[in-house]
Chain A
């Protein structure tokens, strides 16, 4: 038992919304400690749903999620805060993922305030803003006053502020230009080098994921995609 428990282990996950047929059917995957796994799949195949299940934001209909060897599913309500905060999530669309009323500073600081860990708040926020390349002046703007790229930098900073052991990037760079993409990937790589965190990235850009990840996994496609009109 020398090998550490995998950072994330999904076993037989089936998930869907309301009473519709499941979007994700019986999927298992494993991200070893410190590993970067890229999950590839076409649009609409259920990647994002699987990412939400892995981030403990969506309750699967069947299957289990283990984080660092500890079970994280099967609770009556949400998974407990201690489990949720072990995972950082970055979503595809920064506009949707940022509360329009918060400044970027408050956006990044939000998880620290929510967990009551405010002792080192100014230093942590400043360090992350610096790492993600957000100038001090930008921090006091609101989402509608910054670009998509700047907002996504702030969302990445928010995902890292609690120092999660697993980072999930759901099409993080799909909306961004090449240079911002490179910058954000570099931020994630620096973070992983410093902390040894594992990474699950979900996307359809094979070239990018190939460069970025240690291992690629195809999303099993068992249903035909909705035909284009």
Chain B
């Protein structure tokens, strides 16, 4: 049965632009901000208030289910999972942010050099980029940490040295498009050296993009840190780290104790999604035409 009402035509009055998308976006940004802030505060403050007693092994209290005393339960050595997770988050954030910074600064310098110098330097850098892209970077990261004694710095180095590639690509492309602007010509004509053109005109112009890439890198770096620790190659076992905790909980998962795996897992997933959500909002501001999707 067909309706007798006139159907809206393409020329008819349209409904005002869909506002729900905008609404959900605001909610998402604020949720992300709140979660990220909570994670940062917890990671900064809790270890000061409740220092992690590494000796607090209590085998009589091992693998207790979540309760009022231990909201997230205890692990296979009777340690409180909530407290250990917060300490682990602190390590993860530290490693994630430092590694993302290392990777981004490397990428910025390498990409700017390739774009600004061009010619042989550019070809050399792009081949290096291809090479790094061809090898899975977790594998490359494992190779790097395997050369050192386990600890925080090898993990930072391994993530930093394998993740400059994407930033370098972005920066190089941006620099190439800027290089043909007349204001670069004007600077060259005014006697500016290559280094000065790069420092004064090119790098400041790509900083917002590079900064965004750096923030997007943080969750990724955290995931890598956890993966390396899970494999037993990252943070040493006596230090609380989310990856190490999940690794230690593998046995108990099979016997039905889910909490030692789930809660540290949530501590990885929730803050990283929050950071990625914030970075996505920032990207929409820089480049509104691109739809936001989570990139990890």
Using a CB–CB distance below 8 Å, which chain A residues touch chain B? 52, 55-57, 78, 81, 84-85, 87-89, 91, 93, 96-99, 101, 110-111, 114-115, 155, 158-159, 161-162
Known A91-B182, A97-B182, A99-B183; contact A110-B189, beta-carbon cutoff 8 A: no
Instruction: Mark the stretch among B32-40, B135-143, B190-198, B228-236 that contacts chain A.
Output: B190-198
Specify the chain B residue showing the minimal Cβ separation from A112. Answer: B190
Specify the chain B residue showing the minimal Cβ separation from A90. Answer: B186
Known A99-B201, A101-B204, A114-B196; contact A158-B188, beta-carbon cutoff 8 A: no
Query: Which residues on A sit within 8 Å (CB–CB) of B182?
Result: 91, 93, 96-97
Judge whether A55 and B191 touch: CB under 8 Å: no
Beyond the given pairs A84-B189, A89-B186, A158-B186, 15 more chain A to chain B contacts, judged by CB atoms under 8 angstroms and listed by A's residue number, are A57-B188, A85-B190, A89-B185, A91-B186, A99-B183, A99-B200, A99-B201, A101-B204, A110-B192, A111-B191, A111-B192, A114-B196, A115-B190, A158-B190, A159-B189
Residue of A89, A98, A114, A155 touching B192 (CB-CB under 8 A): A114
Specify the chain A residue showing the minimal Cβ separation from B178. Answer: A99
A-B CB contacts (within 8 Å), total count: 65
Using a CB–CB distance below 8 Å, which chain B residues touch chain A? 181-183, 185-193, 196, 200-201, 204-205
Query: Which residues on B sit within 8 Å (CB–CB) of A159?
Result: 186, 189
Query: Which residues on B sit within 8 Å (CB–CB) of A88?
Result: 189
Judge whether A96 and B183 touch: CB under 8 Å: yes
Judge whether B191 and A114 touch: CB under 8 Å: yes
Specify the chain A residue showing the minimal Cβ separation from B192. Answer: A114
Judge whether B205 and A110 touch: CB under 8 Å: no
What secondary structure prevails in chain B residues at the interface with A? helix
Known A101-B204, A101-B205; contact A81-B193, beta-carbon cutoff 8 A: yes
Query: Which residues on A sit within 8 Å (CB–CB) of B186?
Result: 89, 91, 97-98, 155, 158-159
Known A81-B193, A101-B204, A101-B205; contact A110-B187, beta-carbon cutoff 8 A: yes
Closest-CB distance, B132 to chain A (whole angstroms)? 28
Known A101-B204, A114-B196; contact A91-B185, beta-carbon cutoff 8 A: yes
Query: Which residues on A sit within 8 Å (CB–CB) of B205?
Result: 101
Query: Which residues on B sit within 8 Å (CB–CB) of A111?
Result: 189-192
Residue of A52, A97, A155, A161 contacting most chain B CB atoms (<10 Å): A97
Query: Which residues on B sit within 8 Å (CB–CB) of A91?
Result: 182, 185-186
Closest-CB distance, A112 to chain B (whole angstroms)? 8
Residue of A55, A98, A99, A101 touching B189 (CB-CB under 8 A): A55
Judge whether A78 and B188 touch: CB under 8 Å: yes
Closest-CB distance, A117 to chain B (whole angstroms)? 9
Residue of A85, A87, A114, A162 contacting most chain B CB atoms (<10 Å): A114
Known A110-B190, A114-B193; contact A98-B185, beta-carbon cutoff 8 A: no
Query: Which residues on B sit within 8 Å (CB–CB) of A89?
Result: 185-186, 189
Query: Which residues on B sit within 8 Å (CB–CB) of A98?
Result: 183, 186
A-B contact pairs, 30 of them (CB 8 A): A55-B189, A57-B189, A81-B191, A87-B189, A88-B189, A89-B186, A89-B189, A91-B182, A91-B185, A91-B186, A96-B182, A96-B183, A97-B185, A99-B187, A101-B204, A110-B190, A110-B192, A110-B200, A111-B189, A111-B190, A111-B192, A114-B187, A114-B190, A114-B193, A114-B196, A115-B191, A155-B186, A158-B186, A158-B190, A161-B190
